[in-house]
Amino acid sequence: MPTLKVTVGERDRLDQRTRSRIKAAQEGEDLDDAQPVLNFGSYAELSRLLSPKNLELLEAISEHEPESIREAAELVDRDYKQVHRNLSELDDIGVIEFEGGGAGHAKKPKLTYDGLEIDIPFARSNGDIGAAAP
């Protein structure tokens, strides 16, 4: 599994990178080294991903490979509904995925990436990135 690069407020730079990669692909260049990137519009959005509860869930999934959301909730000693909500949010942004889950079957949370690489270039901040909650 690759590592997911997480950035904040870099849409312009990412758009330019995407255009460059499209041009390179059209010219026949090999693009196998592409690292997946998840960009957040603000530090507040990033802080949701990096909340202690989400990080605890990701670590528990990595170490114990729970067979269900309920088992994941038990591993972190939290309410099923809260863990379900957190895992659904992590699934929505592609950090985890669910296997199974058909009628009467448990959904198994699985990591999509080996880890997260956080890239926050403070020198380029232009002031319109929302501040994270304390």
CATH number assigned to the domain comprising residue 42: 1.10.10.10
Contact indicator for 3, 35 with CB cutoff of 8 Å: yes
Rg, C-alpha atoms of the chain: 17
Domain membership of residue 131 (yes or no) is no
Range of the domain at 11: 3-119
φ and ψ of 17, to 5 deg = -60, -40
pLDDT value at residue 20: 61
Residue 54 lies in a domain: yes
Q: How far is CA 122 from CA 2, 10, 50, 131, in A?
A: 25, 11, 18, 13
83 belongs to a structural domain: yes
pLDDT digits (tens, 9 = 90+) for 62-114: 999 999 999 999 999 999 999 999 999 999 988 999 998 778 889 999 999 99
Q: How confident is the model at residue 19 (pLDDT cuts 50, 70, 90)?
A: low
| Lookup: tokens for 108 | 């198994």
Rounded-to-integer distance, Cα 131 and Cα 44, Å: 6
Q: Is 88 a domain residue? A: yes
The whole-angstrom separation of Cα 107 and Cα 67 is 7
The number of folded domains in the chain is: 1
Per-residue pLDDT tens for 26-73? Answer: 676 665 556 777 888 888 888 888 899 999 999 999 999 999 999 999
Sort strands 107-111 and 96-100 into parallel, antiparallel or unpaired. antiparallel
- Asked if residue 68 is part of any domain, the answer here is yes
Within-domain flag for 133: no
What residue has token string 């959301």? 69
Range from 8-22, 68-82, 86-100, 116-130 that averages highest in pLDDT: 68-82
Element (DSSP H or E) covering residue 96: strand 96-100
